[in-house]
Structure 1
Amino acid sequence: MDDEIEATLAEMSIEERAAARVTGPGPYKVPLQFPVTAKIKVEGGSTREETYDSVSIRRPGMKEITDSSTIAEKKGNSAGLYWLAAQLTGLPEHVIHLMDPDDFAEVEAVIEVFMQKFQRGGKRNSVI
């Protein structure tokens, strides 16, 4: 069944794929076309190699959205995006930096689905 879904998703634009993945409470699985192998620190100070062939993205909280905006203002948009991707996937930021650009674009598109809901513009319902 997952293969059928992925085949259908592959025919969509990246924005359509992201929107289709974000259904229900999550987390939302994004398969990686180019698996990432990275050294991960473990308790006791040693490291182990880990290979990731997919990432799971959870829904962000408001604090993460506002913190990523603050980081983007101070350090640049990409720094805020890498930080937010690491927070939402649970992966160390250096693993995010190792991702293939095509795979990162898929992750970014899923995050953008959440961010669009919080961007200002147009008339909003607000007490203020």
Structure 2
Amino acid sequence: MTLEWEQLVVDAADPVALGRWWAEALGWTVVNDDPDEYEIRPAPDRLPALLFVQVPEDKKVKNRLHLDFRPDDRDAEVARLLALGARHADVGQGDETWVVLADPEGNEFCVLGSRRR
């Protein structure tokens, strides 16, 4: 038996707005703009996808699963994401080499430092 990672499902109050935000943040393509299941991918024929689905409840606690990103320039990428509407988040990380941010609905993600060559 083999498995292929199809998508990560993200609960959202507003799937379209959050999906558009992540599409802009990642430079990904919208492959389904249905307001109940808004899907983005790196390219139309590439996986995995992020699928944003509407839920009635608000996010209340730290995510049990989060995304980590490793940009070429951490500080420039953090500034770009903050300008798009992300905000700094404190999940008890202390003084680390990565920066924890939250998307417009409060989902935490990390922007890591540059990979050492």
TM range (shorter): under 0.3
TM-score by length of 2: 0.25
**Pair member with larger Rg:** 1
Which is helix-richer, 1 or 2?
Answer: 1
Higher strand proportion: 2
TM-score (norm 1): 0.24
